[in-house]
Amino acid sequence: MRVLFLGDLVGRSGRSAVIDSLPGLRQRYRADFVIVNGENAAGGFGITEPILNELLDAGADVVTTGNHVWDQREALVFIERHDRLLRPINYPQGTPGKGVGLYKATNGADVLVINAQGRVFMSDTDDPFRAIEHELEACGLKTGADAIVIDFHAEATSEKEALAHFVDGRASAVIGTHTHVPTADEQILNGGTAYISDVGMCGDFDSVLGMDKEEPLSRFLTQIPSARFAPAQGAATICGVGIDIDDATGLARAIAPLRIGGRLSQTEPAFFLPEA
C-alpha cells in the first residue's frame, strides 16, 4: 500500500501548488491514500470550506490540521459537515469536529488516521499519548484497520520521537508536522513504524516559515509588531513523504522524502517512481 503525506500548506502559493499538482502526483506515484495537512492554507492561518473542498477534489483523502485549525472561525461550524477534515484529537471534550477517522483507500484497505497535537512549547491540551492509546485500543493495526497513520502536530522533536517510540509496532507511521522545515531523520523504527520529525511545508521557502520576510525580520529587530504576517507568494516547494506499507502486517517497509518545485533540493521517493 502506498501512502502520500503532504506537509503544512501555507497560503495561496502552497495550496495552489498542491491543488494543481496532486492529481498528477497521485497518478504518477500510484498512491492508494493521500493525507494533506491544511491548517495554514487560508492566508497562512486556518482553512476555509472552499479550500477544503478544492483539496478533496484534487485527490486528498483526508485533511489534517493543528493549532491553527480555528483561525478561520467558520471552521467551528463547517468541520461538523466534513468527515474528512480532522482537528487534533486531544482537544477538550465538546470541541467541534473529530480527531480520528477510518477511511477507505483506493486499494480497498481501511486506513485509520489520527490527528494529535503536542503540548511542549504549545498551548495546553489533553494528553496526546493517552488519547492515541485509546484509539489504538479501539481500532488496532490488523484488528480494526489495515494501516494507521498519525499526524503529530508538535513543536518539540523530543515529544515527537517519544510518541513514535510509544506506538512503534502498533501504527504504520508517525508523521511530524508544524515546524514547516523538513527534517532528514526519516526511518523505520525497530517495531516497523515509519517516522519523520517533520515533513516540512508546501509553500515558498524564500520566507520565514512561509511568511513574507519583512514583518518577521522587523519583529526580531525591534520587538514591535508593525503589521500582520502575510504568506510569501513565490514559487512553492511541495514537501512530504511517501510511505510503503506492507499489506500483510500494516507496518512500514519504506519511507522517503518528497520535495518538488521551488528552491529546495529536489527528491522523490524512489519506490514510488514508475520504474520502481
- List the catalytic residues: 68
Return the axis-axis angle of helices 49-58 and 11-29, rounded to nearest 10°.
20
Residue 108 CB: number of other CB atoms within 10 A? 10
d(CA 273, CA 4): 13
SS3 45: coil
Q: Give the count of beta carbons closer than 10 Å to the beta carbon of residue 94.
A: 5
Name the grid cell of 22: 496532486
CA distances from 95 to 79, 89, 99, 108, 209 (A): 11, 9, 10, 31, 28
Please report the DSSP string for 60-85 in residue order. Answer: -SEEE--TTTTSSTTHHHHGGG-TTB
